[in-house]
């Protein structure tokens, strides 16, 4: 239904979309996720041509939106758009918001438009507010009206740009449930969202956007449970990362120790967790690896997942296979085993990998 | 004080000498005006100066008058060193310099203002032509004039310095000579300079079809030469003119303007001839042709008269009398009414055209095209930076100088253009205040840019900018009070006309102010209705209230 090929969008000092390619079929419910500023909104706005792409093609039912001669107003009628900031028309009542475009653009009669409008308000549960004005509604209600307004044009696809980001947490649910119902009814939708659970449960596909491209495209299972790319994984797990490289014997131990402390504080870790992290670092690097000598470069990555409250410490070092946990009698090993919930060791590509979860 | 007098005694001969030299030069100038009968008034000014000199010399030996403010003025020489009122653009301005020493000149726009200033002691005297002075003092308590002429003067009609102007002047001179010879001129003089109001009437010429119509411009603030009575411009000069037109088969169209506008109107071809107690001066003769004198008189000084001042009537009686005089007598209220009509016409038309034009300018200003936007920006800058009065005069005397377009239309054009500059900026601010998301939502629904603008953005902008435009419009209404400068009789001019007949400030000014207030208020109410129609909530509220 929509084919995007080599889409590029440049602004004078930033290029949010470098090369986007995608195929969207009828009935797809696609969640678009990714860090902010990676061009998710820009992608949506290019699809309905609120922005003019620098280059590339967007085909809607075979018709190229990027064509200079394209009848934008007709193409846009096929696509409904729901904005983060609702954008209801402030000078019209709710029902007028739903009636104006069908009457002006689809040639519906006033009665037809009114009846369809009321029907849609019924489905979003706001029929009672028909005669109110936008500024008399709560955020969640406004967004439901905005969805109904988009639906009033009988679009083939709905584009949502962070529909719940401007809402109080208490109102997110009512909007998401409306969207979910649309998904169940088979509506084709492209939803930019930060609601990971919603993305996981409602969509059949997920786009992870980063670095100006669709970095990873897959089913929710693939993206959420088994992301193929490191960046995707960090984003999905909402990991915060600290990396340190140690490449000489007399490295600045106190400096790294204090950076660990700062990182831990910033991540709101408990003092105990920070202490454990420092302890693992000292035992592994100082007691075992440096002590053994001639190790070369040691890389330490610390990943903190806020959601799961877990801290993973990953050590990577060169040289021949060396499982430093081999000597079970040693005090350092006993200490490490006491602290870590799980320890994993592997030797891959001439590199030792040691992963400790604490 | 004595020292000053002595210094003056030394200086005076020098001044007199210089004046004489000046006169000699002027006389040669004037002599070049062939065929014109001009007596040079500076000679009499010189007489005055010499008299004064002698007076002062004599007073040297007496007690010098101590408190000049209090002592009664009996001779023009006593005016030296005081402040004297003068109407802007009149010959009296230069005359004061010639005739008096050391005086401070205060400038006024009309006789009523002068008389009020005189009574209130803001000026000690003002100069005017003897016939005018006679009439003023007859009608007004509390003022009198000094019998002695400050200078002698001739009064005549003015014509543009063109071939046509010269021809018309010659024709007019012929006519003057004729009526002087057969005694008609004397009769006319008796009518207008005497006391009986009932005989003071003119019949405007009815010209046969196809006859040429003379464009005559005057200043109606010059009774008995030229003034408004029963909403009609009448007077000595007008009477002569009407008879002239009748005799030579001309139609006549009269417009009324400020004194200072008469010569510009002739020079730019707006008018074929002008009159209204206009003294012949060499300065004016440089710009226009003068006819032979149709009245010979002189200039006198009008001063306050403590003896006749003071109200004999009680307060309410006085008010009643004053009200009658200002509004009922000679149907003066009708002048106000027609003035009001003109003010409303100019305001409403300028408001509507200005708003439409302003919208257009606003569209240009917002256009993607840099050149069009730039033009609009420059237009706005220029209009906002030009005083509206100056702009109106430029329109009337320069841009439309050669065409005989109605001054009311010129005023409407001027105010529309001026108003449009403000409206466009107000609209632009209003439009820019509408959230960009509104436009995007409309586009996303499938509206075109134009549809989105008119259906979604503009109505919301209107709610922001209408209250501001309403205020701007009210100030436009008040600003129209300057159209008198381009010969339009609007409300303000109407009240000026009444004041020039009654010489009272209170009623005409207060009533005019009240009328302006009422117009503004009514227009505000009307605009508020539009505002309510644009505000869906208030509209709905009204609908609900009606149900
Ligand atoms: N009109 C614009 N002009 C210049 N830069 C823009 C414009 N719109 C967006 N950007 C930039 O493009 C990048 C991507 O923006 P956006 O698509 O809104 O990101 P996302 O929706 O993924 O957070 C951002 O860095 C943003 O600052
Ligand atoms: Mg965004």
A37 neighbors A59 (Cβ within 8 angstroms): no
List the single residue in A with minimal CA-CA distance to B457. Answer: A89
Distance of CA B431 to the CA centre of its chain: 41
pLDDT for the residue numbered A115: 96
Interface predicted TM-score (ipTM) of this complex, two decimals: 0.81
Is A105 within 8 Å of B460 when comparing Cβ atoms?
no
pLDDT for the residue numbered B242: 93
How far apart CA B283 and CA B29 sit, in angstroms, is: 10
| pLDDT for A357 beyond 80 | yes
pLDDT for the residue numbered A294: 59
| pLDDT for B70 beyond 60 | no
- For ligand 1, atom 7: residue with the closest CA: A11
- Could you report the per-residue pLDDT of A198-220, keeping only the tens digit for each? 999 899 999 999 999 999 999 99
How far apart CA A171 and CA B222 sit, in angstroms, is: 80
Is B441 within 8 Å of A87 when comparing Cβ atoms?
yes
Q: Which of A8, A10, A12, A14 to mutate to test the pocket of ligand 1 (most atoms within 8 A of CB)?
A: A14
- Residues with C-beta less than 6 Å from any ligand 1 atom: A 11, 14, 16, 36-42
* Residues having C-beta closer than 5 Å to ion ligand 2: A 41
CA distances from A334 to A291, A317, B398 (A): 17, 21, 104
Q: Is A267 helix (H, G, I), strand (E, B) or coil?
A: coil
How far apart CA A242 and CA A303 sit, in angstroms, is: 7
Is B441 within 8 Å of A81 when comparing Cβ atoms?
yes
Atom of ligand 1 nearest to the CA of A209: 22
A193 neighbors A47 (Cβ within 8 angstroms): no
Whether A304 and chain B come into contact, CB under 8 Å, resolves to: no
How far apart CA B423 and CA B417 sit, in angstroms, is: 10
| pLDDT for B397 beyond 50 | yes
- Averaged over B146-150, what is the pLDDT? 85
Is B447 within 8 Å of A93 when comparing Cβ atoms?
no
Q: Which residues of B touch A74 (CB under 8 A)?
A: 446
Q: What is the 3-state secondary structure (H, E, C) of B233-283?
A: EECHHHHHHHHHHHHHCCEEEEEECCHHHHHHHHHCCCCCEEECCCECCHH
pLDDT for the residue numbered B310: 52
Distance of CA B428 to the CA centre of its chain: 37
Q: What is the CA radius of gyration of chain B?
A: 29
Is B446 within 8 Å of A48 when comparing Cβ atoms?
no
Whether A107 and chain B come into contact, CB under 8 Å, resolves to: no
- Could you report the per-residue pLDDT of B403-420, keeping only the tens digit for each? 878 999 999 999 999 999
Q: Which of A7, A9, A13, A16 to mutate to test the pocket of ligand 1 (most atoms within 8 A of CB)?
A: A16
How far apart CA A188 and CA A174 sit, in angstroms, is: 20
B431 vs B38, higher pLDDT = B431
Q: Which residues of B touch A73 (CB under 8 A)?
A: 446-448
Domain edges within chain A: 2-237, 239-357
- Averaged over B230-240, what is the pLDDT? 90
Domains of chain B, earliest start first: 2-62 (no CATH), 76-153 (3.40.190.10), 157-292 (3.40.190.10), 330-546 (1.10.3720.10)
* Closest of A298, A280, A286 to residue A337, by C-alpha: A280
User: Minimal Cα–Cα distance from A84 to chain B, Å?
Assistant: 10
Residue B10 phi, psi dihedral angles, 5° rounding: -70, -40
- A197 exposure class (CB count in 10 Å sphere: 0-12, 13-18, 19+): exposed
Q: Which residues of A touch B463 (CB under 8 A)?
A: 91
Is A77 within 8 Å of B446 when comparing Cβ atoms?
yes
Lowest pLDDT segment from A41-45, A88-92, A297-301, B61-65: B61-65
And the tokens for A180?
């979910």
pLDDT for the residue numbered B143: 87
- Averaged over A95-116, what is the pLDDT? 95
How far apart CA A299 and CA A316 sit, in angstroms, is: 5
Whether A150 and chain B come into contact, CB under 8 Å, resolves to: yes
Q: Which of A33, A41, A53 to mutate to test the pocket of ligand 1 (most atoms within 8 A of CB)?
A: A41
Atom of ligand 1 nearest to the CA of A39: 17
Average model confidence (pLDDT) across chain B? 81
| pLDDT for A59 beyond 80 | yes
Instruction: Enter the CATH code of domain A2-237.
Output: 3.40.50.300
A214 neighbors A22 (Cβ within 8 angstroms): yes
Ligand nearest to the CA of A12: 1
Residue A256 CB coordination number (10 Å): 19
Q: What is the 3-state secondary structure (H, E, C) of B419-456?
A: HHHHHHHHHHHHHHHCCHHHHHHHHHHCCCHHHHHHHH
Highest-confidence segment of A304-318, B31-45, B422-436: B422-436
Which residue from A86, A91, A153 is facing B445, i.e. has the nearest CB?
Answer: A153
B270 vs B67, higher pLDDT = B270
pLDDT for the residue numbered A306: 76
- Could you report the per-residue pLDDT of B308-333, keeping only the tens digit for each? 555 556 677 778 888 888 888 878 88
User: Looking up tokens 């504080």, which residue turns up?
Assistant: A265
Q: Which residues of B touch A83 (CB under 8 A)?
A: 437, 440-441
Ligand nearest to the CA of A35: 1
Which residue from A76, A89, A90 is facing B444, i.e. has the nearest CB?
Answer: A76
CA distances from A297 to A317, A325, A348 (A): 6, 19, 16
CATH classification for the domain delimited by A239-357, as one of 3.30.1360.170, 3.40.1280.10, 3.40.50.300, 3.30.565.10: 3.30.565.10
- Could you report the per-residue pLDDT of B86-141, keeping only the tens digit for each? 888 777 888 888 888 888 888 888 788 888 888 888 888 998 888 888 878 877 77
Q: Which residues of B touch A80 (CB under 8 A)?
A: 444-445
| pLDDT for B20 beyond 50 | no
Which residue from A87, A92, A150 is facing B437, i.e. has the nearest CB?
Answer: A87
A94 vs A344, higher pLDDT = A94
Lowest pLDDT segment from A291-295, B282-286, B334-338, B514-518: A291-295
pLDDT for the residue numbered A237: 80
| pLDDT for B31 beyond 50 | no
B541 vs B307, higher pLDDT = B307
Whether A270 and chain B come into contact, CB under 8 Å, resolves to: no
B238 neighbors B276 (Cβ within 8 angstroms): no
Average model confidence (pLDDT) across chain A? 90
pLDDT for the residue numbered B27: 36
Its pTM stands at: 0.70
Rounded to the nearest 10°, the torsion over CA B200, B203, B204, B205 is -140
Q: Kindly indicate the confidence band of residue B195, based on its pLDDT and cuts at 50, 70 and 90.
A: low
- Could you report the per-residue pLDDT of B438-448, keeping only the tens digit for each? 999 999 999 99
Whether B440 and chain A come into contact, CB under 8 Å, resolves to: yes
- Could you report the per-residue pLDDT of B196-215, keeping only the tens digit for each? 778 888 888 887 777 888 99
How far apart CA A238 and CA A234 sit, in angstroms, is: 6
Is B446 within 8 Å of A133 when comparing Cβ atoms?
no
Whether B537 and chain A come into contact, CB under 8 Å, resolves to: yes
pLDDT for the residue numbered B544: 55
A125 vs A237, higher pLDDT = A125
Chain B, residues 445-464, CB within 8 A of chain A, namely 445-448, 451, 455-456, 459-460, 463
Whether A153 and chain B come into contact, CB under 8 Å, resolves to: yes
User: Minimal Cα–Cα distance from A230 to chain B, Å?
Assistant: 36
Whether A131 and chain B come into contact, CB under 8 Å, resolves to: yes
pLDDT for the residue numbered B539: 65
pLDDT for the residue numbered B16: 41
Whether A155 and chain B come into contact, CB under 8 Å, resolves to: no
| pLDDT for B423 beyond 80 | yes
Ligand nearest to the CA of A11: 1
B261 neighbors B487 (Cβ within 8 angstroms): yes
Atom of ligand 1 nearest to the CA of A45: 17
Ligand nearest to the CA of A161: 2
Q: Which residues of B touch A87 (CB under 8 A)?
A: 435, 437-438, 440-441
How far apart CA A112 and CA B133 sit, in angstroms, is: 82
- Averaged over B507-533, what is the pLDDT? 89
């Amino acid at each position: 239904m929509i084919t995007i090929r080599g889409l590029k969008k440049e602004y004078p000092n930033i290029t949010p979309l470098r090369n986007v390619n995608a195929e969207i079929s009828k009935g797809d419910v696609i969640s678009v996720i990714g860090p902010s500023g990676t061009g998710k909104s820009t992608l949506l706005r290019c699809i309905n041509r609120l922005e003019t792409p620098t280059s590339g093609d967007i085909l809607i039912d075979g018709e190229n939106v990027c064509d200079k001669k394209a009848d934008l107003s007709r193409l846009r009628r096929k696509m409904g758009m729901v904005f983060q900031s609702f954008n209801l028309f402030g000078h019209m009542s709710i029902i007028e918001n739903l009636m104006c475009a069908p009457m002006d653009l689809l040639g519906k009669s006033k009665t037809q438009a009114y009846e369809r409008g009321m029907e849609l308000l019924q489905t979003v549960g706001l029929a009672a507010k028909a005669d109110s004005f936008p500024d008399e509604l709560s955020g969640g209600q406004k967004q439901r009206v905005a969805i109904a307004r988009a639906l009033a044009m009988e679009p083939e696809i709905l584009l949502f740009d962070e529909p719940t980001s401007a809402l109080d947490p208490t109102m997110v649910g009512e909007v998401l449930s409306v969207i979910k119902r649309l998904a169940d009814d088979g509506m084709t939708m492209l939803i930019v969202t930060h609601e990971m659970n919603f993305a996981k449960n409602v969509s059949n596909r997920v786009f992870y956007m980063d670095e100006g491209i669709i970095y990873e495209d897959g089913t929710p299972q693939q993206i959420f449970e088994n992301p193929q790319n490191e960046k995707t994984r960090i984003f999905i797990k909402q990991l915060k990362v600290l990396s340190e490289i140690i490449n000489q014997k007399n490295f600045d131990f106190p400096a790294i120790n204090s950076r660990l402390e700062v990182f831990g504080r910033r991540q709101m870790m408990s003092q105990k967790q920070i202490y454990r992290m420092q302890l693992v670092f000292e035992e592994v690097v100082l007691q075992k690896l440096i002590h053994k000598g001639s190790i070369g470069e040691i890389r330490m990555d610390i990943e903190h997942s806020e959601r799961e409250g877990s801290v993973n410490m990953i050590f990577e070092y060169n040289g021949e296979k060396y499982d430093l946990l081999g000597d079970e009698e040693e005090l350092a090993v006993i200490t490490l085993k006491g602290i870590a919930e799980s320890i994993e060791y592997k030797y891959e590509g001439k590199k030792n990998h040691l992963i400790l979860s604490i | 004080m004595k020292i000053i007098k002595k210094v003056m005694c030394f200086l005076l001969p020098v001044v007199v000498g210089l004046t004489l030299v000046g006169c000699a030069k002027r006389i040669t100038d004037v002599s070049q005006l062939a065929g014109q009968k001009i007596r040079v008034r500076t000679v009499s000014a010189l007489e005055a100066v010499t008299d004064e000199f002698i007076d002062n010399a004599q007073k040297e030996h007496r007690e010098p008058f101590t408190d000049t403010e209090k002592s009664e003025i009996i001779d023009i020489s006593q005016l030296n060193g005081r402040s004297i009122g003068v109407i802007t653009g009149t010959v009296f301005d230069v005359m004061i310099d010639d005739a008096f020493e050391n005086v401070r000149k205060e400038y006024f726009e009309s006789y009523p203002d002068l008389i009020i200033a005189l009574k209130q002691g803001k000026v000690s005297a003002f100069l005017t032509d003897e016939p005018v002075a006679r009439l003023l003092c007859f009608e007004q308590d509390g003022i009198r004039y000094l019998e002695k002429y400050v200078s002698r003067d001739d009064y005549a009609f003015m014509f543009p310095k063109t071939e046509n102007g010269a021809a018309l002047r010659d024709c007019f001179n012929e006519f003057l000579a004729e009526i002087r010879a057969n005694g008609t001129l004397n009769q006319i003089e008796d009518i207008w300079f005497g006391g009986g109001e009932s005989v003071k009437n003119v019949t405007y010429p009815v010209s046969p079809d196809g006859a040429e119509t003379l464009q005559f411009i005057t200043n109606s603030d010059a009774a008995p030469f030229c003034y408004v009575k029963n909403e009609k411009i009448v007077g000595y000069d007008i009477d002569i003119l009407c008879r002239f037109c009748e005799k030579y088969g001309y139609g006549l169209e009269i417009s009324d303007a400020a004194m200072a506008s008469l010569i510009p109107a002739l020079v730019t071809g707006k008018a074929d001839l002008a009159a209204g107690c206009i003294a012949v001066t060499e300065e004016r003769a440089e710009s226009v042709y003068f006819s032979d004198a149709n009245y010979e008189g002189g200039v006198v000084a009008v001063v306050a008269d403590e003896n006749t001042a003071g109200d004999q009537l009680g307060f309410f009686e006085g008010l009643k009398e004053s009200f009658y005089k200002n509004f009922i007598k000679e149907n003066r209220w009708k002048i106000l009414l027609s003035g009001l009509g003109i003010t409303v016409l100019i305001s409403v038309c300028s408001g509507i055209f200005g708003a439409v034009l302003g919208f257009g300018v606003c569209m240009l200003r917002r256009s993607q095209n840099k050149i069009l936007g730039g033009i609009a920006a420059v237009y706005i800058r220029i209009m906002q930076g030009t005083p509206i009065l100056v702009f109106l005069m430029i329109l009337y005397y320069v841009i439309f100088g050669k065409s005989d377009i109605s001054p009311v239309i010129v005023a409407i054009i001027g105010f529309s253009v001026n108003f449009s500059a403000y409206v466009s900026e107000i609209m632009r601010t209003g439009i820019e205040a509408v959230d960009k998301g509104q436009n995007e939502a409309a586009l996303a629904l499938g509206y075109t840019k134009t549809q989105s603008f008119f259906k979604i953005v503009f109505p919301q902008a209107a709610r922001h900018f209408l209250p501001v435009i309403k205020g701007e419009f009210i100030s436009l209404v008040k600003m129209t009070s300057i159209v008198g400068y381009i010969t339009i009789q609007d409300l303000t001019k109407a009240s000026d006309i009444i004041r020039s007949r009654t010489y009272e400030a209170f009623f005409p000014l207060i009533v005019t102010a009240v009328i302006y207030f009422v117009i503004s208020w009514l227009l505000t109410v009307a605009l508020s209705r539009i505002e309510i129609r644009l505000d869906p909530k208030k509209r709905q509220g009204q609908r609900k209230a009606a149900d």
